[in-house]
Amino acid sequence: MKRRDFFKKAVVTASSAALGTSMLKADVTGQPIDNRKVSKVAFPEKRPLIMYSDRPPLLETPRDVFTSALTPNDLFFVRWHMPDIPTHIDPETFTISVNGLVEKELKISLNDLKTKFEQVEVTAVLQCGGNSRSAFKPIAGGIQWGSGAMGCATWKGVRLSDILDQAGLQKDATWIGFNGSEKAAYYETPNFIRELKLDELDDHVILAYEMNGEDLPYLNGYPLRLIIPGTYSDSWVKMISNITVTNAYKHLFFMDVAYRVPDNACECETHEKRAPKTKPIRKMNVKSVIGYPTHNSIINHKSHVVVRGVAWDDGHGIKQVLVSLDGGKNWDVALLDDGKLGRYAYRTFRYSFKPNTLGKTTIMVKAINKIGHTQPFAKDIKWNHGGYKYNGIDEVTVEVV
């Protein structure tokens, strides 16, 4: 660009900013960045993943893993807010304490947890509220995740309600705080604590020690983590050391500032005009991700291609997954798996076609849930400054040769 043209352009931008509303049009949201390479190094119990930071560990699962309903433990994404994660936990001496407004304070060992309570299992999607954040334009604050800040596993553990029953709640108990075991590197940073209102917690909420039939991987919260099916995972506290029952909400950084969206009907705002009120992100919206093929794959002309991927929501259940090969004009129904893993799990889908035109082909996928909610086109996604809850229609572009 010539210098003169640059100035011309700068003038155009300035005048459209003055118009205000035309700035809104510039806030077009696109597709998440989903073709990043995996790191050359791997963390213990993990295969190489897409790495954003090693301290704290921030690891993303590559898109091509999302062709099966269960995400393998060693490919499961990792997100920690604080760098100082304990490096050693002794399962023989580990206990979790339950205190605060309870009749009887408890200290439960792992062994007690596994032998003295009813053992339950739930298959559920764990998705960070910031998953796919890299799609937001202008850029939204936080890790620029592609679509792999999520996974689905079968979690085994004990119902939180059974533990609270054993402790016995006092009459004015209203909030339950969960502490992670890690520490911040600087004393100004608060520890990772989440508070949940008692009435938000149902029987599906469990304290899990097992993931897909094995101990939790260390980085996914060994030896115990909270599982809250249907909700974004910011409250699924890992490496829980302590459960404290209170009668008043304490103002906590991770509850008051992060993982919140505008408290208005569209849950949206603009870069220039922030929404005055916010609310926690909580329930997941309906979404689907294509696992195969991936971006820029080479596909043979007239060969038999089976598009595969996963779809999920907050537990209402997926009704249909639709595929478009013409930019979203026509949609065709994909085949869904039998749904045996339950309403909180991924439903896998498949869709066969024979590419009959050469060159670039874009495959688009959208899911519809049982209450009729679906995914908007990426360009119609509403912006929020935290970059949360992205669920635009997914697409990959392949090369037919």
Which secondary structure element, helix H or strand E, spans residue 401, and what is its range? none
Q: Which of 43, 52, 66, 80 binds ligand MTE (CB under 6 A)?
A: 80
Question: Which segment (44-52, 104-112, 163-171, 236-244) binds ligand MTE by CB under 6 A?
Answer: 236-244
Question: Which segment (107-115, 232-240, 307-315, 370-378) binds ligand MTE by CB under 6 A?
Answer: 232-240
Considering only residues 110 to 129 of the shown chain, the ones binding ligand MTE according to CB under 6 A are 126, 128
Query: Residue 102 Cβ, how far from ligand MTE at the closest point, in Å?
Result: 22
- Of these partners, Mo ion, ligand MTE, none, which one is at the site of residue 78 (CB under 5 to 8 Å by kind)? ligand MTE
Q: Contacts for 44-49 with beta carbons within 8 Å, 24 or more apart?
A: 44/218, 44/219, 45/73, 45/74, 45/217, 45/218, 45/219, 46/74, 46/75, 46/76, 46/78, 46/217, 46/219, 47/74, 47/75, 49/75, 49/77, 49/78
Q: How far is CA 16 from CA 23, 139, 140, 316, 341, in A?
A: 6, 19, 21, 43, 51
Of 51, 26, 44, 130, nearest to 87 by C-alpha is 44
Alpha-carbon distance 303 to 385, whole Å? 43
Query: Residue 259 Cβ, how far from ligand MTE at the closest point, in Å?
Result: 7
Alpha-carbon distance 50 to 38, whole Å? 4
Binding mask 202-221 for ligand MTE (x = CB under 6 A): ------------------xx
Q: Which of 46, 63, 79, 133 binds ligand MTE (CB under 6 A)?
A: 79
- Of these partners, Mo ion, ligand MTE, none, which one is at the site of residue 148 (CB under 5 to 8 Å by kind)? none
Considering only residues 282 to 311 of the shown chain, the ones binding ligand MTE according to CB under 6 A are none
**For 115-133, b where at least 16 C-beta lie within 10 A, e where not — what string?**
eebeebebbbbbbbbbbbb
Which lies closer to Mo ion via its Cβ, residue 79 or residue 308?
79
Beta strands 287-292 and 305-312: pairing type?
Answer: antiparallel
Alpha-carbon distance 170 to 79, whole Å? 34
Does residue 81 interact with ligand MTE by CB under 6 A?
yes
Does residue 223 interact with ligand MTE by CB under 6 A?
no
Does residue 140 interact with Mo ion by CB under 5 A?
no
Q: What is the dihedral of CA 338, 377, 66, 32, to 10 degrees?
A: -170
Which lies closer to Mo ion via its Cβ, residue 204 or residue 389?
389
Question: Which segment (4-12, 88-96, 233-241, 370-378) binds Mo ion by CB under 5 A?
Answer: 233-241
Q: How many residues contact ligand MTE, by CB under 6 A? A: 19
Does residue 52 interact with ligand MTE by CB under 6 A?
no
Query: Residue 129 Cβ, how far from Mo ion at the closest point, in Å?
Result: 6
SS3 assignment for 100-153: ECECCCEEEEHHHHHHCCCEEEEEEEEECCCCCHHHCCCCCCCCCCCCCCEEEE
Considering only residues 58 to 87 of the shown chain, the ones binding Mo ion according to CB under 5 A are 79
Does residue 67 interact with ligand MTE by CB under 6 A?
no
Does residue 128 interact with Mo ion by CB under 5 A?
yes
- Of these partners, Mo ion, ligand MTE, none, which one is at the site of residue 222 (CB under 5 to 8 Å by kind)? none
Question: Which segment (12-20, 56-64, 127-135, 182-190) binds Mo ion by CB under 5 A?
Answer: 127-135
Which lies closer to Mo ion via its Cβ, residue 128 or residue 400?
128
Which lies closer to Mo ion via its Cβ, residue 191 or residue 320?
191
316: left (phi over 0), alpha (psi -120 to 50) or beta: alpha
Query: Residue 128 Cβ, how far from Mo ion at the closest point, in Å?
Result: 3
Q: Which of 155, 163, 175, 182 binds ligand MTE (CB under 6 A)?
A: 182
Of 362, 372, 369, 352, nearest to 394 by C-alpha is 362
